[in-house]
Structure 1
């Protein structure tokens, strides 16, 4: 995108506060759980219990059983979509967005399993998968792989099943996977079968309405942002055209590197000196992963934590520690020295998350003042 000299500059702290506000991390929101999942554009969910922590950190009086009921009631669903990763989405968004991601998903997954799929026609594999699922019986990845390998014995069962589930046939991961404190392997049915509605077309009128809607929804939850950030969140190419199509609706800024950022005109952009409370984030939280330039929320030296599955703690709006739970105790590992006041705030919030995770049976937390 061409950078204009007249666009206001937003420094890193201003972008941080905008992100926290959009992500419901500056103030916990009084939203219904379904509305929160919709506002966030879904929650990354390959670790089944992590969305509960993500929503607890964002909503007042969050009741995890409500999210479980939304899953069993088929109003939210676990499925592969953005970046080819399992996300928890509203049923409406999953059906509206999935086809727009088809080409990206096929390219990513078939490239990863290229050797295992030698001699396999992907259209035939998709048809075989649909036929297999037509009986309505949920199946695990291993069961799908074994059944498909009977037709393609030279191919790897894992590759056949992975490509089918992740790219060729939109699939839902069924409960009890993803229910509060439930254990269960992933079992699959076609998304349209599970939700009882058909998946929407990706571009019904040739103007990419789904792409334009995705850009608007992304900016509402993540903006201001560059086109590269939208792509990092979604995994989709072709979104510069969607941004161009709605440019008249948007306002523009620059970051300190000179990149052009676009945003919705009425979206919150709090003052940079707005206080930011301590927040405990789950593994793979999109508040961090949803950007190409993550410098607004995490230092480059710690960027690897965001893809390593570490749970992190925000102090003054930035990643300042990791955390884990063992023996009913939340243990915090600082990434920098914490002041006495910061350590007290981290300990207080740590006791709250410990109580949430243990149903109030524990509020134990350990917070060293500085890295070990």
Structure 2
């Protein structure tokens, strides 16, 4: 009979894999790689995500990696903007192409009609061939000269999904502002993305399975699919299955994991952690009950920032005039409130670069 893991055990495993059980000394680039990227449609949120995970995190190190083109912002998992290493962007993009195309078609199928997507992709490459950063509306308006009946918005969004692009700085740089301006990934990183694997082989998919379990396991195949948005991974899972161990969760689902990955004791003490909007520690699963109650799971999808207490989402937080404001979702004990306030003051100091140290718990 397979060993069972309850939600508390799974939560502790998630915290350990996500560098949330204790802060680590890993370098910024290595942390981004280990986490399989950070969701980043809100460009400043990854800084909080890394601050909560890395000891002595310097936000200017992440900015330097963006400026040096060692990490990039690009549409990838679930067709959302992720901050990933340049190597992962080049290796993973082709594997995500069918999903990106399918998802954008799901939004704009009516507007596109019988437009040839390969022809549109070729035109988008021509429009962006000079390497000049352009917004999606600018790309769309250039393409609308050829397809005036479609409209610039769908043309721009579809083009950025069909052609590998990166959002270039200053967007995503610490405390910098700037709209999303796109450059072809090949121009920004100096080479084309890795081509799809031939003959039905899926080494990239197999590598994604291992990487996902390293950062999120133990997990079910449905969790893997929810994280990346890719439907065609059963072959990849089967290819590495002999390398894995399996468990059952409280709902009877089979969970797969790497044999030597950390699975801490369920009673391991956990610190308070402040998570940014859309953090993958919550969103990286189909079943998020290991870290958030079902009654509150919509908060993370809506972009609410979460506070973890005893390893679970127990509050949300915002910033108001340099003060971290915490809204509990349950009654906090006196000791919990003290720890939430202490970590909140540290976060306030980070976000305001030491000028303020204020936190308010509602």
Instruction: Give the TM interval when normalised to the shorter protein.
Output: over 0.9
CA apart distance, 1:117: 1.0
Runs of 4+ aligned residues of structure 1 deviating over 4 Å after TM superposition are none
Query: 1:85-100 to 2 correspondence within 5 Å?
Result: 85-100=80-95
TM-score, length of structure 1 as denominator length: 0.96
Structure 2: 5+ residue stretches without partners: none
Matched, 1:218 2:198: no
TM-score, length of structure 2 as denominator length: 0.99
Matched with 1:111 is 106
Matched with 1:207 is 201
CA apart distance, 1:119: 3.8
CA apart distance, 1:204: 3.7
Please give the secondary structure, in 2, of the residue aligned with 1:319. strand
Please give the secondary structure, in 2, of the residue aligned with 1:246. helix
Matched with 2:36 is 41
Q: Distance in 1 between matches of 2:249 and 2:288?
A: 12
Q: Distance in 1 between matches of 2:26 and 2:198?
A: 32
Q: Distance in 2 between matches of 1:58 and 1:265?
A: 24
Matched with 1:54 is 49
- CA deviations on 1:199-255 (whole Å, 9 max, x unpaired) are 112324532000000000000000000000000000001212211111110001000
Please give the secondary structure, in 1, of the residue aligned with 2:359. strand
Asked whether the equivalents of residues 117 and 156 of structure 1 are also in contact (C-alpha less than 8 Å), the reply is no
Match of 2:12 among 9, 17, 20: 17
Please give the secondary structure, in 1, of the residue aligned with 2:20. coil
Matched, 1:74 2:69: yes
Q: Distance in 1 between matches of 2:188 and 2:263?
A: 39
Matched with 1:126 is 121
Please give the secondary structure, in 2, of the residue aligned with 1:257. coil
Q: Distance in 2 between matches of 1:201 and 1:261?
A: 31
Aligned residues: 362
Matched with 1:358 is 352
Matched with 2:96 is 101
Matched with 2:24 is 29
Q: Distance in 1 between matches of 2:140 and 2:59?
A: 33
Deviates more, 1:50-59 or 1:200-209: 200-209
Please give the secondary structure, in 2, of the residue aligned with 1:114. helix
Matched with 2:287 is 293
Please give the secondary structure, in 1, of the residue aligned with 2:5. coil
Matched, 1:143 2:138: yes
Please give the secondary structure, in 1, of the residue aligned with 2:314. strand
Structure 1: 5+ residue stretches without partners: 1-5
Q: Distance in 2 between matches of 1:142 and 1:327?
A: 33
Matched, 1:227 2:227: no
Please give the secondary structure, in 2, of the residue aligned with 1:294. coil
Matched with 2:311 is 317
Matched with 1:249 is 243
Matched with 1:3 is none
Query: 1:161-180 to 2 correspondence within 5 Å?
Result: 161-165=156-160, 167-180=161-174
- CA deviations on 1:174-199 (whole Å, 9 max, x unpaired) are 00010001000011111111111221
Matched with 1:260 is 254
Please give the secondary structure, in 2, of the residue aligned with 1:113. helix
